[in-house]
Structure 1
């Protein structure tokens, strides 16, 4: 197994979980917040895709599918195209609404397709390439991909938990 196969397996698991978590949920269920400042499923699923999209595009030196495929307009959230949800306030989380489960999944599938394409084009030399020297040690492509996976796994776990509670209401 190559390193890129392992990375792709991780992103495939995220993709599977996003589809499973969103499946069959109404907009109301997606927008429910467990408390006034909690993250909704809409925000969690959107953020998983946005972080992956933005950071993979940075690694590849390409535009994000959020822009190139028109997802910023298609989802109609009225957000700055550079927004990924990082550091959002409670009010900003609440503004990620009005998007269906199908739309969230479709955006994620576009993001995952691009991620798969980028990872499939990498070799071990590419994974060792330094992309951010502001850290000690500097961040490589491999480290950034693992960071994206860690963030996505954290949020997909949260989304699975929130889904379970929303369905029990």
Structure 2
């Protein structure tokens, strides 16, 4: 398997975990917080999708799906349209509410674009510097691995919250 195949496989695994965490949940379960400051499933999935959309669009030189397909208006969040969840307060987290269909629709659109992008990459493309504000500068390969790690972490958190809710 080449590097593009490995990246595609990793993003497919994220897809599986996200769907398992979200499918068939009622809005009150998606919005539930295990304590007053905990992240909800809705926020976790929205955030991981926003970060993936933001980072992959930047690396690919394309517009974010959030804007290009007008998901920002569909979600109707009381946040800045460009918000990705980074640095959100507890109140911001609580304001992210969405149905399973809306969350998965946006996630699936970003996932499809991500797979199209990564399947076209070769080893040389992964060496391209995409962010010079770090030392050492961040390459495309490092950025994609970072997105995968962050997405898996948040998808796992969403699966954990679902498990706690199902045991209640």
Deviations, residues 68-118 of structure 1 (Å, cap 9, x unaligned)? 011111112133221110111100000001x11111011100000010111
Asked if 1 retains the 8 angstrom alpha-carbon contact of 2:33 and 2:39, the reply is yes
List gaps (5 residues or longer) in structure 2: none
Unpaired runs of 5+ residues, structure 1, are: none
Contact 1:72 1:78 in 2 (8 A): no
Query: Corresponding residue for 1:66?
Result: 66
- Return the offset for 1:3: 0.5
Normalising by structure 2, report the TM-score.
Answer: 0.97
Report the aligned-residue RMSD: 0.9
Tell whether 2:49 aligns with 1:27: no
Distance 1:105 1:159 in 2: 13
Contact 1:72 1:79 (8 Å CA) reproduced: no
> What does 1:1-169 correspond to in 2, within 5 Å?
1-97=1-97, 99-169=98-168
Task: Name the CA distance, whole Å, in 1 between partners of 2:87 and 2:167.
Answer: 29
User: Is the partner of 1:83 in helix, strand or coil?
Assistant: coil
CA contact (8 A) 2:126 2:141 kept: yes
DSSP-derived class of the 1:131 partner: strand
TM-score normalized by structure 1?
0.97
Shift of 1:167: 1.3
Q: Is the 8 A contact 2:59 2:130 kept in 1?
A: yes
| Residues 41 and 158 in structure 2, CA contact (< 8 A), matched pair in contact too | yes
Please give the secondary structure, in 2, of the residue aligned with 1:28. Answer: helix
Give how far 1:136 is off. 1.6
